[in-house]
Amino acid sequence: MKKTKDKSLDRRKFLLRSGLAVASVPFLPISCQQTAKKSEEESNENAFEFAFLTDIHIKPEMNAPKGFQMAINKVNELNPDFVITGGDLVYDVMRGNYEKSESLFNLYKDMCKGFEMPVYNCIGNHDLFGIYEESPEDENHPDYKYGMWERHFGDTYYSFDHKGWHFITLNSLDVTENKRYKGAFHKEQLQWLAEDLNTVDKSTPIVITTHIPMMCTYAQLNGSEGSRTVSNGFEVFKMLEGYNLKLVLQGHIHWKEYGFVNDRFQFLTGGSIAGNGWKGRRHNTKEGFMKIRVAGDDFSWEYIDHGWENERLKLGNKETV
């Protein structure tokens, strides 16, 4: 089948980690204590952490490499099993200019070598090569739209498994007739997703990553700026009915949002590494990333401040909200 692949095999440097100590369970009969202890041990055996970093917007200016390096250092210190990114890896390639665009992706890739664990990338709108009207390139360029990203990172949608959980990264971008980006899951990808889900047991916990959110209250809160979501996200949710969808990870908005929908699944919009173009907070959300801890069939999350706000203020970058 098409690209249900584990592209990390050659990059996998998973660190073997021991289970956490088992807490005692007082005031229970011994048999209950043993059962509780056993299930806790089982879920701790498979417990793991991963980091979700989104909207990195790397560029040579504005001390961006210094800020991204601080995030990389913080991730390495936390030592998760792997990193998932949420798109907008670079800023930006939508307006074309091959040499500059190529140098941005190379800068991102070179910096990512600093991560001491595998990195699973997602495509964002700023990563779509040459799609804007003002671009000197057109759709005949081999790197047009997804081409440059694919050449650097491989498929824009794929899945992998880790310790009993199934991770799906989706490509939430397409281009309009008037040469702007739009949030949509194209048909070919939905066909692939159906095939991918056919291989997944209904009880397997699933995490979906998308750059453009499938769930977001931004438009309800801010009105005038319109929808910030994928137009056909409902098709994906429909396909996932009956599956054990646990979490949807999202980028794009540069803010932090958490939701738990109808006791069915949770979603997290993961702030951003770049904030407001490296100048300060966007929507008053501090620059940072998500650390997600998985244990058994459940997870918890924490937004990690990697210290860039203090550093950029020290460097004199203007604070904006």
Smallest distance, Fe ion to C-beta of residue 173, A: 12
Question: By C-beta, is 88 or 174 nearer to Fe ion?
Answer: 88
DSSP state of 219: H
Q: Which is nearer to Fe ion, 208 or 212 (CB)?
A: 212
CB-nearer residue toward Fe ion: 145 or 228: 228
Per-residue DSSP letter, 282: B
Cβ 139 to Fe ion shortest distance, Å: 23
Does 137 interact with Fe ion (rule: CB under 5 A)?
A: no
> 120 near 82, Cβ under 8 Å?
yes
Closest CA to 292 of 171, 216, 212, 205: 205
Tokens standing for residue 87? 């798109």
Question: Cα-flanking dihedrals φ and ψ of residue 125, to 5°?
Answer: -60, -35
Beta carbon of residue 99, minimum distance to Fe ion (angstroms, whole number): 23
Taking every pair of C-alpha atoms in the chain, what is the biggest distance, in angstroms?
A: 74
By CB under 5 A, is residue 309 in contact with Fe ion?
Answer: no
**Residue 127 gets which letter from DSSP?**
G
Which DSSP category does 125 fall into? G
Report the nearest approach of Fe ion to the CB of residue 254 (Å).
6
Neighbours of 233 (CB within 10 A): 22
Stretch that binds Fe ion, among 81-89, 143-151, 212-220, 301-309 (CB under 5 A): 81-89
Q: Least Å distance between CB 275 and Fe ion? A: 10
Using DSSP's 3-state secondary structure scheme, residue 292 falls into: strand
β-bridge pairing 205-210 and 173-175:
unpaired
Pattern 28-67, binding to Fe ion, x per CB under 5 A? ---------------------------x------------
Burial of 140 (0-12, 13-18, 19+ CB in 10 A): exposed
Per CB under 5 A, 88 contacts Fe ion: yes
Nearer residue to Fe ion within complex by CB, 254 or 291: 254
Nearer to Fe ion, 52 or 299 (CB): 52
How many positions of this chain bind Fe ion (CB under 5 A)? 2
In the complex, minimum distance from the CB of residue 94 to Fe ion, in angstroms, rounded to a whole number: 11
List contacts with Fe ion (CB under 5 A). 55, 88
